[in-house]
């Protein structure tokens, strides 16, 4: 009787099967890596667009409140009781809109800023009233020195700068104290002989007085003084910042990371038809009378993806082919504000917008919009 034949795979067959398996595994791995890169790129661009939309929305909303002093349309009927308001860029309501080029002085006031914006980026200064903080006073003031009665939950603190306004006039002052009036109400003090922090209130026709005794139809709102600028954020990425007034003084807040450039132009109405005829940079608008005719603002930002394309010391040809090397006209004036052509050096240091970047290249997009300044049109 013949023995049973041995059955199985030969070494050659096993080696062929292993090679086929490795080829399939390499293909699957290649697809996974490709999908991962695609997902990372799409996610990065999605975050870029989300950050840009947030930055544009915040600035656009504030710009629409430029020069808003309540339902009182006449800026001549605004009384600013703050000490040194005319010489301090934070409190000067006579120029509700100002701008600065590359971190210089503000136009048209000529006052120096205390901010430190990113090189070659603009600063936008916006002043008005914060409509989200509005509340009605609870009883008419018997005299111009009387404290102002408001409901609890008003959201104000000692040191806040507020405006009291009706459709005939507006007074801007600092809250020097808050006193419990009972019955769920508080009294806002506006003394002229104390400085909660700074600037404090000046005397007007006697101690603790404002321009008139307001009736119970008057409303109060926080005074808005916002400076928008670009600076390094906590993560090291350039970010959009806003300096705003708080009860303890000006405070800079990081709003949106990944915003690396801000450029602003101001639309001047030269023929009194309430439509901008020419757009200029802040240092080119000219005299203060021209600033009174600014009726719109055009601004642009550069948003960059938070994930860089490559961090190695030597860039590959594949990475170079992915780079966004376009030179960027951020505000649409025909002048290049950001030169992103980094293809000259494969290693070492490159520069963008005055800031050194060590071989880290990002995808970038420009976002631009024009905002009509409704209150400035009425003012004019």
Q: Which pLDDT tens digit goes with each residue over 192-235? A: 988 777 899 999 988 999 999 999 999 999 999 999 999 999 98
CA distance 112 to 176: 27
Residue 73 backbone zone (phi > 0: left; psi -120 to 50: alpha; other: beta): alpha
In this structure, the chain runs to a length of 380
Pairing of strands 364-372, 294-304: antiparallel
The helices-and-strands tally (H runs, E runs) of the chain is 4, 19
CA distance 147 to 154: 15
Q: What is the dihedral of CA 331, 131, 213, 379, to 10 degrees?
A: 30
DSSP for 347-380? SS-EEETTEEESS----EEEEEEEEE-HHHHHH-
Is residue 211, in this structure, part of any structural domain at all? yes
Helix (H, G, I), strand (E, B) or coil at 205: coil
Please answer whether residues 309 and 340 qualify as being in contact, where contact means their C-beta atoms are separated by less than 8 angstroms.
Answer: no
Please answer whether residues 164 and 77 qualify as being in contact, where contact means their C-beta atoms are separated by less than 8 angstroms.
Answer: no
Using alpha carbons, select from 141, 134, 208, 149 the residue that is nearest to residue 174.
208
If one counts the domains in the chain, the total is 1
DSSP for 207-225? TT--SS---TT-EEEEEEE
CA distance 365 to 376: 31
Q: What is the pLDDT of residue 359?
A: 37
Please answer whether residues 277 and 268 qualify as being in contact, where contact means their C-beta atoms are separated by less than 8 angstroms.
Answer: yes
Per-residue pLDDT of the chain (380 residues; tens, 9 = 90+): 555 665 677 788 888 888 898 888 888 888 887 777 777 667 778 888 999 999 999 999 999 999 999 888 788 899 999 998 878 888 888 889 999 987 678 888 888 778 889 888 999 999 999 999 999 999 999 999 999 999 999 999 999 999 999 999 999 999 999 999 999 999 999 999 887 778 999 999 889 999 999 999 999 999 999 999 999 999 888 999 999 988 888 899 999 999 989 999 999 998 888 889 999 998 888 776 788 899 999 999 999 887 665 544 444 545 544 555 567 788 877 777 766 544 443 334 444 444 444 435 677 889 999 999 988 887 66
CA distance 271 to 5: 105
Is residue 288, in this structure, part of any structural domain at all? no
Using alpha carbons, select from 309, 278, 308, 283 the residue that is nearest to residue 295.
278
Please answer whether residues 204 and 79 qualify as being in contact, where contact means their C-beta atoms are separated by less than 8 angstroms.
Answer: yes
Cα distances from 379 to residues 237, 272, 311, 373, in angstroms, run 39, 12, 52, 10
CA distance 136 to 235: 42
Token pair listed for 368: 């631009």
Where helices occur in 176-262 by DSSP H, the ranges are none
Q: What is the pLDDT of residue 296?
A: 94
Please answer whether residues 354 and 103 qualify as being in contact, where contact means their C-beta atoms are separated by less than 8 angstroms.
Answer: no
Which range of residues forms the domain containing residue 206?
54-258
Is residue 304, in this structure, part of any structural domain at all? no
Kind and range of the H or E run holding 55 = helix 11-63
Give the DSSP letter of residue 18.
H
CA distance 80 to 93: 7
Q: Phi and psi at residue 11, in whole multiples of 5°?
A: -60, -40
């Amino acid at each position: 009787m013949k023995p049973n034949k041995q059955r199985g795979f030969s070494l050659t067959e096993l080696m062929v099967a292993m090679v086929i398996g490795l080829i399939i595994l390499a293909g699957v791995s290649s697809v996974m890596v490709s999908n991962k890169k695609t997902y990372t790129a799409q996610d990065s661009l999605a975050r870029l667009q989300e950050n840009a939309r947030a930055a544009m929305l915040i600035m656009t909303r504030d710009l629409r409140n430029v020069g808003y002093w309540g339902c009182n349309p006449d800026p001549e009927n605004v009384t600013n009781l703050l000490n040194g308001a005319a010489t301090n860029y934070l409190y000067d309501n006579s120029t509700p809109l100002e701008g600065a080029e590359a971190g210089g002085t503000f136009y048209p006031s000529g006052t120096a800023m205390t901010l430190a914006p990113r090189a070659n980026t603009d600063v936008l200064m916006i002043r008005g009233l914060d409509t989200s903080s509005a509340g009605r006073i609870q009883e008419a003031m018997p005299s111009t020195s009387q404290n102002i009665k408001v409901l609890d939950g008003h959201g104000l603190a000692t040191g806040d700068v507020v405006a009291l306004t009706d459709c005939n006039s507006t007074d801007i002052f600092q809250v020097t104290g808050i006193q419990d009036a009972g019955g769920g109400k508080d009294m806002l003090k506006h003394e002229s002989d104390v400085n909660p922090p700074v600037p404090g209130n000046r005397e007007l026709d006697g101690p603790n007085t404002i321009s008139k005794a307001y009736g119970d139809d008057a409303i109060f709102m926080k005074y808005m003084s916002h400076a928008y600028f670009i600076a390094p954020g906590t993560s090291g990425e350039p970010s959009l910042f806003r300096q705003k007034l708080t009860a303890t003084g000006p405070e800079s807040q990081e709003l949106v990371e990944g915003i690396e450039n801000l450029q602003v132009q101001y639309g001047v109405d030269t023929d009194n038809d309430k439509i901008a005829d020419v757009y200029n940079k802040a240092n080119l608008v000219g005299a203060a009378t021209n600033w009174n005719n600014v009726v719109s603002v055009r601004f642009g930002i550069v948003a960059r993806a938070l994930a860089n394309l490559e961090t190695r010391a030597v860039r590959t040809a594949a990475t170079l082919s992915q780079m966004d090397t376009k030179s960027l006209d951020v505000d649409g004036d025909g002048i290049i504000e950001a030169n992103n052509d980094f293809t000259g050096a494969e290693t070492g240091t490159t520069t963008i917008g005055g800031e050194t970047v060590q071989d880290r290249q990002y995808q970038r997009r420009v976002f631009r919009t024009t905002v009509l300044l409704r209150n400035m049109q009425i003012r004019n």
